[in-house]
Amino acid sequence: MDINNSKDKIELILKTEQKDDGEISLRDIINTILKGKWIIVVAVILIPSVVFGYLKFTAPIVAKTIISFNFEGIEKGVDPNGKNFDVSIIKSPSIINEVIKKIGLDKKGINIGNIVPNIDIQPIIPGDISEKIKKIQQAKSENIKDQQDFVYYPNTYIVSFNVSKNSKISVSTAKSILDEVIHEYANYFFQTYTDRNAIANSIGKIKYDEYDYPEITAVMHNQINILENYLTAKLKQRNGDIFRSTKHGVSFSDIIGTIDVIDKTDIGRLDAIIGAYNLTKDKDNLIKLYEYRIKQNELLKNKKDDEAKIVSDMLGKYQKDKNLVMLPGSADMNSETGMFEFNKTDDYYNQLAERYTNSGVESKNAQHDIEYYQKEIEKFKSDSVTQSQKVIAEKQVIKMIPDVADKLKNWVDITNDTVDEYYNKYFIFDAIKVITTAQNVSFSYKFQLLIAFAAALILSLVVVFFMEYWKRNYSKDNIVETE
């Protein structure tokens, strides 16, 4: 009886060992998964939910935009003025302060410290350029000689604004801030690298009542000259001859024509009345001023005469370089050897000649000014105009000056508006292009949740199979111990 029982137990153990040593079937795998289905279900629901909640409440707000620079010099890393181009000015305190003022961020408790550290600027480097740089770096690391240095200056950048969700800045505010940062930088670029302020700085706000009557018209003529020279320069720039303002409907040529009429007609009429009636606010003071200007011009004339004489002597002693050219078979009675002389272009000689000419012109201009002021002094000293006539003429001039000044100011404003339009169309539009406006770049929740789901599924399956493995081994050990 004991022998039979022992045989049964031994047979049972052998069968169990044979079963354990065999391959796991698909049916076993499915059965194991079905046994642990609740563990798997809980895992694939719980883990992605936790991940989603974490990302939802802790992921930072990221607003991004892409800008491209296209102006002469950017390929060499220099700005339009030829100096090193510094793109980090985009987040400079001066620009950010303007952004804070424009949007009213200070009222929301947002200051420069909440913005500047969170703006990141990264260049976009084309793939072929990246490969070229890598090859050069690899060659240098391997000590390969004859490798030329290669420097690439990017012209396209990604500007990002990253803020924590715990901050006071919302998604819409972040986008508005980044848009305004780029807008203010474009304004800075426009003001820095164009001559937009040339007219305002040169003409400015003139207080005509601080000048005597003859000086007022002189100032106005000077303003007209500045304006005409400025507009003439614009005509020579890209599409300047065909550009027309949409706001005022005028071209640069139209403005030049109009201010020329103001110069010759309105200011000319003022000149005529002031000159005919010898109008002045203070005759003695004006005569002293003219006498001072005569002395200044005499000094200038003497200086330029001396300069012209010195340069003339230098030109006389200077021997221009010459080239001798042999023309075979060209010997004649003028050149028996067939050698001909050709003067080389000589920059130094040309500079001397130009300097001599300029000195002569400036000397003549000074002489003309001297003669003009002498005549004016003589005219005031021998003034025969009655006081009553002067009073009537002065009233007329006093009335005309504001009218002419308003006309001039109006056309200065029109010029500024027209130049603004011109630069916005042909300079800023090309120089700075916003490829994409500020956009909120959030985490890809779908992708993150997919990863979390896959991780949860794999982890739960590992747990289920491990539990099954443990269960089987534990059962086997119990059988052996029982036996």
Mean pLDDT of 460-474: 76
* Distant-in-sequence, close-in-space partners of 336: CB < 8 Å, separation ≥ 6: none
pLDDT for residue 1: 47
If asked whether residues 304 and 380 sit together in one domain, one would say yes
> Residue 390 domain-assigned?
no
- 399 or 199: which leads in pLDDT: 399
pLDDT for residue 192: 85
Q: pLDDT digit string (tens) for 106-129?
A: 888 888 988 899 999 999 988 888
> Residue 232 domain-assigned?
no
pLDDT for residue 467: 79
If asked whether residues 32 and 79 sit together in one domain, one would say no
If asked whether residues 182 and 69 sit together in one domain, one would say yes
Give the pLDDT band of residue 469 (cuts 50, 70, 90): confident
> Residue 183 domain-assigned?
yes
Highest-scoring range by mean pLDDT, 133-147, 274-288, 337-351: 274-288
If asked whether residues 49 and 82 sit together in one domain, one would say no
d(CA 74, CA 87): 11
Among 10-19, 246-255, 264-273, 305-314, which stretch is predicted with the lowest mean pLDDT? 10-19
If asked whether residues 34 and 99 sit together in one domain, one would say no
If asked whether residues 302 and 287 sit together in one domain, one would say yes
Among 25-34, 137-146, 419-428, 451-460, which stretch is predicted with the lowest mean pLDDT? 137-146
Whether the Cβ atoms of residue 373 and residue 294 lie closer than 8 Å to each other:
yes
Query: Tokens 């003309």 appear where?
Result: 368
pLDDT, the chain, mean: 80
If asked whether residues 51 and 69 sit together in one domain, one would say no
pLDDT for residue 285: 93
The residue among 340, 366, 384 that closes a domain is 384
If asked whether residues 75 and 34 sit together in one domain, one would say no
- 253 or 453: which leads in pLDDT: 253
Q: pLDDT digit string (tens) for 141-166?
A: 666 655 566 788 899 999 998 887 66
pLDDT for residue 12: 46
Position 247, amino acid: K
Joined tokens for residue 59: 């992921």
pLDDT for residue 232: 93
Among 5-19, 102-116, 183-197, 244-258, which stretch is predicted with the lowest mean pLDDT? 5-19
Tell me the CA distances in angstroms from 155 to 99, 116, 126, 135, 429, one per residue in order.
Answer: 24, 22, 11, 22, 15
Highest-scoring range by mean pLDDT, 332-341, 351-360, 453-462: 351-360
Q: pLDDT digit string (tens) for 54-82?
A: 666 655 678 889 999 988 888 889 988 88
Over 60: is that where the pLDDT of 210 sits? yes
Highest-scoring range by mean pLDDT, 54-68, 224-238, 321-335, 421-435: 224-238
Instruction: Give the other-Cβ count within 10 Å of 48's Cβ.
Output: 21
- Phi-psi sector, 206: left (phi>0), alpha (psi -120 to 50), beta: beta
pLDDT for residue 387: 92
The residue among 193, 224, 241 that closes a domain is 193
Helices first, then strands: H and E counts in the chain: 15, 6
Whether the Cβ atoms of residue 240 and residue 252 lie closer than 8 Å to each other:
yes
In 3-state terms the chain splits into helix, strand, coil percentages (rounded to 5) of: 70, 10, 25
Q: pLDDT digit string (tens) for 426-444?
A: 776 678 888 776 666 555 5
d(CA 12, CA 479): 9
pLDDT for residue 35: 73
If asked whether residues 53 and 66 sit together in one domain, one would say no
**First-to-final CA distance of the chain:** 16
Over 50: is that where the pLDDT of 181 sits? yes
d(CA 275, CA 267): 12
Over 80: is that where the pLDDT of 301 sits? yes
Q: What is the pTM of this model?
A: 0.57
- How much is the CA Rg of the chain, to the nearest whole Å? 44
If asked whether residues 45 and 161 sit together in one domain, one would say no
> Residue 260 domain-assigned?
no
pLDDT for residue 100: 92
- 341 or 217: which leads in pLDDT: 217
> Residue 87 domain-assigned?
yes
Whether the Cβ atoms of residue 256 and residue 226 lie closer than 8 Å to each other:
no
Position 223, amino acid: Q
* Residue span of the structural domain in which 471 resides: 27-57+444-482
The residue among 350, 384, 418 that closes a domain is 384
Mean pLDDT of 395-424: 91
pLDDT for residue 339: 46
> Residue 369 domain-assigned?
yes
Among 44-48, 179-183, 228-232, 321-325, which stretch is predicted with the lowest mean pLDDT? 321-325
> Residue 399 domain-assigned?
no
Tally of domains in the chain: 3
Among 237-246, 407-416, 436-445, which stretch is predicted with the lowest mean pLDDT? 436-445
If asked whether residues 136 and 34 sit together in one domain, one would say no
- Phi-psi sector, 169: left (phi>0), alpha (psi -120 to 50), beta: beta
> Residue 68 domain-assigned?
yes
If asked whether residues 343 and 356 sit together in one domain, one would say yes
Over 50: is that where the pLDDT of 327 sits? no
